[in-house]
Amino acid sequence: MPTLITWLLALMCAALSSASWALNYDLQPRQIAENTWVVIGTTEDFSRQNGGDIVNSAFIVTSEGVIVLDSGPSRRYGEALKQKITEITDQPILKVINSHHHPDHFFGNQAFLPAPILSLEATQRLIAERGETYAENMYRLVGDWMRGTEVVVPTQTIQPGVEEIGGHRFEWFAFSGHSGERADLVLLDHTTGVLFPFDLVFYQRAATTPDTPGLEIWLQDLERLAQMEFRQMLPGHGEVVSDLTALKQTSAYLAWLHETLQGAAAEGLSSSEVMRLPIPQAFSELAQVRQEFERSVTHLYRHYEQAVFTQ
Amino acid sequence: MCKRKSWAACWSRAGLVVALAISPLVAAQTEDSVMWDYTRKMFIGDATYSFDERIRVELPSFAEDSMQVPLGVDASGLNEPIQQMIAWADYNPIQHIFTYRPQAGVLPQVSLPFKVQQSTPVRVAVQLTSGEWRVGSGYVDAAGGGCTLPSESRMQDDWVSSLGQISAGRFSRASGDRFKLQVMHPMDSGLVANIPSFYLEELQVRRPSGEVLIQMQLSPAVSENPVITFDTATGAADVTLWLRDNDGNEFERAL
């Protein structure tokens, strides 16, 4: 029978272990296809508890070296990811890809230097322009997890098209719906059939809209993605799927958002009234949906209001 | 639910419990921020007042854009005619947001965006026709900086060409007419180096007879190019919107 002392010791151990856990990312790479590993983040918002581990990253071990797909929210995350990669393969890091310019996808770049860091041209420009502001914001949101993190602007640009690397036939695409004009990278690995739409697709988590050039553009991108032949898909946030479930969920949410903002503008609702509109049951289980809906009103409603104004 | 990554989920759950536990504290801060006595005296002097939850002060839980925070105020729950409502943010460097004086036939509700410098309680003091003051409160969490960042207009060269342009819409509502308007104006706070304050300070909605239906004073804490809504209890035919900024520019159009 446990004595009081045993209980106290157990409690202290628990306290100590959770304290030391506090600043260690518990990354668990999972192999989903030949040479292809994914690291699934939580579907939460940035916090001092999760250190920004809210994003999916992945890596592909080719015979020429490892291709890292997104480096995470902080230097510490990048280091943890690199550590996991070295536990799995002896191959060196060949290159790091930044799918787009949002802070949860590129702040781990530092850990992989001097490996080349690649992104679309628009992404390179956006990280150069906004990186410092994002860094300040990230320090505020997740605190000490960011210690030592600095902006590393992608060193090379990536051109859309087919590219053979180390036994894999990759196809890169430039989309626009989530991050702006030709600022969303998509990768289709024809060799394994894994599609990486990055943040064009969110699964079981509400989509974020700060840089969308328009929900209709995003919806068109999703229609194009749906035509692609793939066996598995890794959304930017949320679990791996082997069908169109995640894509259709993102599409349905964005279509609802578009119609809701359009309808609200036609009725003359104010922003604060729109923010309080009910979320339909179909989306009420999406992580962060109320917060993201409020944010989206701030990002987008003005454009819908403009459309019904008379000059 | 406590599997793997679930540590994080558990932690955030713990966070939720803490948040629920401290929410009365947040409420208390809303009503008793260290600035409350100071700002209250600034706006309503030593008049007696009471807090009244029927005055709804609607704000997002977090200010996604600290230069454009939507504020909705509705005092119609009081069911009494009012003289004026004064809105301010306790922790803003420019506390005053607006003063609204709806005349008979205009509902005591208004919405507009404003800037926040940091997380702050927002107050709306409503003066009834009896002279009595009732106060509603809200709170907005923010990363901040909204009052000391240059307006987007200042980042472009062509804002002068759109200065004072008014877009407007009119919508039939169950309660009467909703007016929504947007005025192009940089609304410079004067707190950004080398950019003097330049903002719309007075707004009126007038009938053809010249009778003033709505009178509103705006402060430079109101966001640039603000979208403002107000509501009339009955259809208000032929009204004109008139605005003046602190440089004396006047802008006018039929609504």
As a whole number of angstroms, the distance between CA B182 and CA B200 comes to 12
High-pLDDT (> 90) share of chain A, %: 89
Q: What's the average model confidence in pLDDT over A101-118?
A: 97
As a whole number of angstroms, the distance between CA A113 and CA A148 comes to 14
Contacts of B168 in chain A (CB under 8 A): 309-310
Cα A250–chain centre separation = 14
Q: Give A115-149 pLDDT, tens digit per residue.
A: 999 999 999 999 999 999 999 989 988 999 999 99
Q: Which residue of A has its CA nearest to B166?
A: A311
Contacts of A263 in chain B (CB under 8 A): none
| Interface test mutation site (partner B, options A21, A133, A140, A271, max chain B beta carbons within 10 A) | A271
User: What is the predicted pLDDT for the residue at A9?
Assistant: 55
Q: How close, in Å, is residue B47 to chain A by CA atoms?
A: 30
User: What is the predicted pLDDT for the residue at A303?
Assistant: 95
Q: Give A229-269 pLDDT, tens digit per residue.
A: 999 999 999 999 999 999 999 999 999 999 999 999 999 99
| Interface test mutation site (partner A, options B3, B4, B11, B65, max chain A beta carbons within 10 A) | B11
Higher-confidence residue of B195 and B55: namely: B55
Q: Give B92-150 pLDDT, tens digit per residue.
A: 999 999 999 998 889 999 999 999 999 999 999 999 999 999 999 999 998 866 666 66
Torsion sign across C-alpha atoms A150, A153, A156, A157: positive
Q: Give B36-51 pLDDT, tens digit per residue.
A: 888 999 999 999 999 9
User: What is the predicted pLDDT for the residue at B233?
Assistant: 86
B190: left (phi over 0), alpha (psi -120 to 50) or beta: left
Can you list the alpha helix ranges (DSSP code H) found in A74-148? 75-88, 103-106, 121-142
Three-state secondary structure call for residue A112? helix
Phi then psi dihedrals of residue B208, to 5 deg: -55, -30
User: What is the predicted pLDDT for the residue at A104?
Assistant: 95
Q: How close, in Å, is residue A49 to chain B by CA atoms?
A: 7
**Residues of A near B (CB-CB distance < 8 A)?**
21, 26, 28, 40-42, 44, 47, 49-50, 53, 137, 140, 210, 267-268, 270-273, 275-276, 291, 294-295, 297-299, 302, 305-306, 308-311
B181: left (phi over 0), alpha (psi -120 to 50) or beta: beta
> Please, are residues B230 and B214 in contact by the beta-carbon 8 Å criterion?
yes
Q: Do B111 and A271 touch (CB under 8 A)?
A: yes
Contacts of A26 in chain B (CB under 8 A): 4-5, 7
Q: How close, in Å, is residue B109 to chain A by CA atoms?
A: 11
Q: How close, in Å, is residue B155 to chain A by CA atoms?
A: 14
Residue B21 predicted with pLDDT over 70: no
Contacts of A276 in chain B (CB under 8 A): 58
User: What is the predicted pLDDT for the residue at B44?
Assistant: 94
Residue B26 predicted with pLDDT over 60: no
Residue found under tokens 């301010």: B88
Q: Do A309 and B60 touch (CB under 8 A)?
A: no
> Please, are residues A36 and A167 in contact by the beta-carbon 8 Å criterion?
no
> Cβ contacts of residue A190 below 8 Å, gap of 6+?
A162, A168, A169, A170, A171
Angle A57-A59-A172 from CA coordinates, rounded to 5°? 90
> Please, are residues B223 and B113 in contact by the beta-carbon 8 Å criterion?
yes
Residue B28 predicted with pLDDT over 50: no
User: What is the predicted pLDDT for the residue at B146?
Assistant: 64
Q: How many helices (H) and strands (E) does chain A have?
A: 9, 12
| Model confidence band, residue A169 (pLDDT cutoffs 50, 70, 90) | very high
Q: What's the average model confidence in pLDDT over B145-158?
A: 67
What residues are paired with A202 via a beta bridge?
A: A237
| Model confidence band, residue A52 (pLDDT cutoffs 50, 70, 90) | very high
As a whole number of angstroms, the distance between CA A270 and CA B111 comes to 7
Q: Give B196-254 pLDDT, tens digit per residue.
A: 899 999 999 998 888 899 999 999 999 999 999 999 987 667 899 999 999 999 999 99
Q: Give A15-30 pLDDT, tens digit per residue.
A: 444 444 568 999 999 9
| Model confidence band, residue B162 (pLDDT cutoffs 50, 70, 90) | confident
Three-state secondary structure call for residue B42? helix
Contacts of A50 in chain B (CB under 8 A): 8, 11-12
Q: Give B199-214 pLDDT, tens digit per residue.
A: 999 999 998 888 899 9
High-pLDDT (> 70) share of chain A, %: 93
| Ordered DSSP codes for A171-232 | EEEEE-TTTSTT-EEEEEETTTTEEEEEEEEESSBPPP-TT-S-HHHHHHHHHHHHTS--SE
Q: What's the average model confidence in pLDDT over A292-305?
A: 96
Q: What's the average model confidence in pLDDT over B177-185?
A: 94
Q: How close, in Å, is residue A37 to chain B by CA atoms?
A: 17
Residue found under tokens 């005055």: B55
CATH class of A24-205+220-244: alpha beta
**Residues of B near A (CB-CB distance < 8 A)?**
4-5, 7-9, 11-12, 15, 58-62, 64-65, 68, 70-72, 111, 113, 143, 165, 167-171, 173, 178, 180, 182, 227, 229
User: What is the predicted pLDDT for the residue at B22?
Assistant: 42
- Which domains are present in chain B? 25-254 (2.60.40.2470)
Tokens of A195: 């599609």
Which of A43, A101, A31 minimizes the C-alpha distance to A70? A101
Q: Do B5 and A272 touch (CB under 8 A)?
A: no
Phi then psi dihedrals of residue A5, to 5 deg: -60, -45
As a whole number of angstroms, the distance between CA B255 and CA B228 comes to 13
Least CB–CB distance from A309: residue in B4, B7, B167: B167
Contacts of A40 in chain B (CB under 8 A): 5
Residue B75 predicted with pLDDT over 90: yes
As a whole number of angstroms, the distance between CA B235 and CA A266 comes to 18
| Model confidence band, residue B16 (pLDDT cutoffs 50, 70, 90) | very low
Phi then psi dihedrals of residue B157, to 5 deg: -95, -15
Q: Do B8 and A44 touch (CB under 8 A)?
A: yes
Q: Do A49 and B15 touch (CB under 8 A)?
A: yes
User: What is the predicted pLDDT for the residue at B8?
Assistant: 36
CB pairs under 8 A between A and B: 96
Looking at every residue in chain A, the average pLDDT score rounds to 93
Q: Which residue of A has its CA nearest to B255?
A: A310
Q: Do B7 and A311 touch (CB under 8 A)?
A: no
Contacts of B72 in chain A (CB under 8 A): 270-273
The domains of chain A are located at 24-205+220-244
Tokens of A212: 């969308």
